[in-house]
Amino acid sequence: MLRWIDTHNHLFVLSEEQQKKEVWEASRVGVVSSLVCAGGVDNLKDARRCAYEHDQAYACGIHPLYIRSSWKDDLTALEAFLEEHQDDPRLAAVGECGLDFSAACRVPHDVQEEVFSAQLKFARKYGLPLSLHGREAMDIVLKYIRRLPPQLGIIHAFNGSMAQAQAFLQNGFKLGYGGAMTYDGSKRIRKILSELPDDAWVLETDCPDMPPSWVREQNQKNPESALADTARYGALAAELRNTPVGKISEQSIQNTLKAIPKFRVLISASRDEKSPFVS
């Protein structure tokens, strides 16, 4: 069976029964692990618990949409959590963090930038990669990334230009692709994925958010993505890149291990040590 890793989801927001179902169905199509990303300090323990209960990895951060008036205290709480769990083998990244300058986010830009900058410092302090959000603010995100090189991580749901893609790659990041690339109208996203170097991209679901086209067509009222979608995204990436799906599976795993190194330990601990994906 082909193997996959979902590099970004919010599995903890689902009910316990739904979480179990998601992980079981994903395992049936070869999804061997995933990164459960917290959205704010109120979710840190939930993300960690979810990772331990379902044999996943987790990331802790403050999403720009969830920055509150108590953001200074929240940053203190986040750093305390990272300090407490810095030796946790499942704590694999700082995130989801970044900038959102779209109309959907009403947090002042200067506050967003201060919170983001602090989390970049946390990532360096604790030696963790980043799971980045960059909506209508790619160039500003890049500005901060360049201030603190080198770094590892993933720019989640990448939808920028090829020039921006190259800039992230030059600064050690991989580009995340998921539900958005399943739509026929996502021509730029698809074109860039088709032209990227083999080592530039990873797969993600953002479960239960960012539903793929086939789900939205079937359930327009409440469409959701699933961990198992990772396998179908891999098949689509193979089509777009004109590459055998087996090669895409191998590339996606290796790219993920480079971006989020702790996956290497988690997979090797739960899989055959002779697996070709843990070399």
Q: What's domain 4-270's superfamily in CATH?
A: Metal-dependent hydrolases (3.20.20.140)
Q: What angle do CA 180, 184, 190 make, to 5 degrees?
A: 60
Average pLDDT over residues 161-186: 97
What is the rounded end-to-end Cα distance, in angstroms, of the chain? Answer: 18
- Averaged confidence pLDDT in the chain: 94
143 pLDDT above the threshold of 60: yes
The 10s digit of each residue's pLDDT in 226-258 is 999 999 999 999 999 999 999 999 999 999 999
CA dihedral sign of residues 171, 172, 173, 174: positive
The 10s digit of each residue's pLDDT in 151-173 is 799 999 999 999 999 999 999 99
pLDDT value of residue 277: 30
What is the side-by-side strand order in the sheet with 4-9?
A: 4-9, 31-37, 57-60, 91-100, 130-135, 153-155, 173-177, 201-203
Stated pTM of the model: 0.94
What confidence tier does 262 reach under pLDDT thresholds 50, 70, 90?
very high
What confidence tier does 270 reach under pLDDT thresholds 50, 70, 90?
low
Listed in sequence order, the residues at least 6 apart from 13 whose beta carbon sits closer than 8 Å to its beta carbon are: 208
Compute the distance between CA of residue 36 and CA of residue 59 in angstroms, rounded to an integer.
Answer: 6
| Torsion angles phi and psi, residue 33, rounded to 5 | -170, 175
